[in-house]
Structure 1
């Protein structure tokens, strides 16, 4: 599903250049649930931005579902993001003046689906995350866990090939974090490919494979015995 070969990325900082990714090789098969770990400055955010087509590597190749991702202008990058990827963010990134259903339906608007179909699909995914009764509520009327569930429903609405979750439990308390990870595990068990960026070892143990980054290199890539999230609650 994802093939990364010899990926390099540097950023100019004044007269200097900061080499952030130093030859990353990384494959993810369809249906995997992988966590990416690393301290601040390890390169995990840069790698996630490249996977999410929000940034481009200087060298190396990135192939997503058989499609080479390179030299994309913003219009094509946006089209590919909408086609291939669903994003889940630490800060939820919900639109404050839109209710839960409209937030979930937003990616479908950009796919030019008719309004009724957008609303039906949004309700389906709100139901899936246990929030059908909250469809008319605005984000400020929802708890942190409910906001993240809305964000997950929105990420799923466009039926992406891959979910990219950037610290999806970072703004949540422990119990709510495990409930969100239970939801992510369930989505993965249905066959969805998911990458979770996290700095929390207990969250990483709830995935099936842990990739550790340090100073722009992968130092460890291990299959793990997955811990079921709700066994902690």
Structure 2
């Protein structure tokens, strides 16, 4: 599903060049649930941005579902993101003046679906995350956990190949974090490929594979015995 070979990324900092990614090799198969860990400055945010087509590598190759991701202008990158990827953010990134069903339907608006079909599909995914009764509520009427469930429904709405989750539990208390991870595990059980960036070891243990970055390199990549979130909820 994802294949990355010898990936390098540098940024110009005044007269100096900062070499952030120093030759990443990484593969993810269909249906995996992978956590990416690393301290601040390890390169994990840059790596996630490249995976999400929000930035481009200087060197190396990135293939997503058989498509080579390179030399994309913003229009094509946006189309590929909408087709291939669903995003879940720590800060939810919901539009404050739109209700839950409209937030979930937003990716479908950009795909050109008519409002009736958008609402039907959005409602389906709100039901999936247990929020059908909250469809007409604005984000400020929802708890943190409910906001993240809306964000997950939005990420799923366009039926992406891969979900990219950036610290999806970072703004939540422990109990709500485990409820969100139970939902993510259930989505993965249905076959969705999911990558989670996290700094929380207990959250990483709820995935099936942990990848550790340090100083722009993968220093450890191992499969783990998955802890089911349900045992904590």
Name the TM tier (shorter chain).
over 0.9
SS at 1:179 equivalent: helix
| Partner of residue 114, structure 2 | 114
Measure the CA separation in 2 of the matches of 1:232 and 1:14: 48
Alignment TM-score, normalising by the size of structure 2? 1.00
Pairing 1:35–2:39 present: no
Q: Structure 2: where are the runs of 5+ without partners?
A: none
- Note the 1:71-110 alignment, pairs <5 A: 71-110=71-110
Question: How far 1:183 sits from its partner (Å)?
Answer: 0.2
* Matches of 1:41 and 1:226, distance apart in 2: 27
Q: How big is the shift at 1:114?
A: 1.1
Residue 58 of structure 1 aligns with which residue?
58
| Residue of structure 1 equivalent to 2:26 | 26
Query: Following superposition of structure 1 onto structure 2, how do residues 180-219 of structure 1 map, counting pairs within 5 Å?
Result: 180-219=180-219
Partner in structure 2 of residue 147 of structure 1: 147
Q: How many residues align?
A: 233
CA distance in 2, matches of 1:224, 1:206: 9
SS of the aligned residue for 1:194 comes to strand
1:123 — aligned with what? 123
Task: Describe the SS at the equivalent of 2:118.
Answer: helix
TM-score for both structures, normalised by structure 1: 1.00
Determine the structure 2 residue equivalent to 1:163.
163
Rounded to whole Å, the distance in 1 between the matches of 2:129 and 2:6 is 38
Q: Aligned partners of 1:171 and 1:68: how far apart in 2?
A: 34
| 1:137 corresponds to | 137
Q: Which residue of 1 aligns with 2:224?
A: 224
Offset at residue 127 of structure 1 (A): 0.2
Distance between the aligned counterparts of 2:232 and 2:221, measured in 1? 25
1:5 aligned residue: 5
Could you tell me how far apart the structure 1 residues matched to 2:21 and 2:204 are?
Answer: 21
The CA deviation at 1:197 is 0.2
* CA distance in 2: counterparts of 1:39 and 1:190, whole angstroms: 31
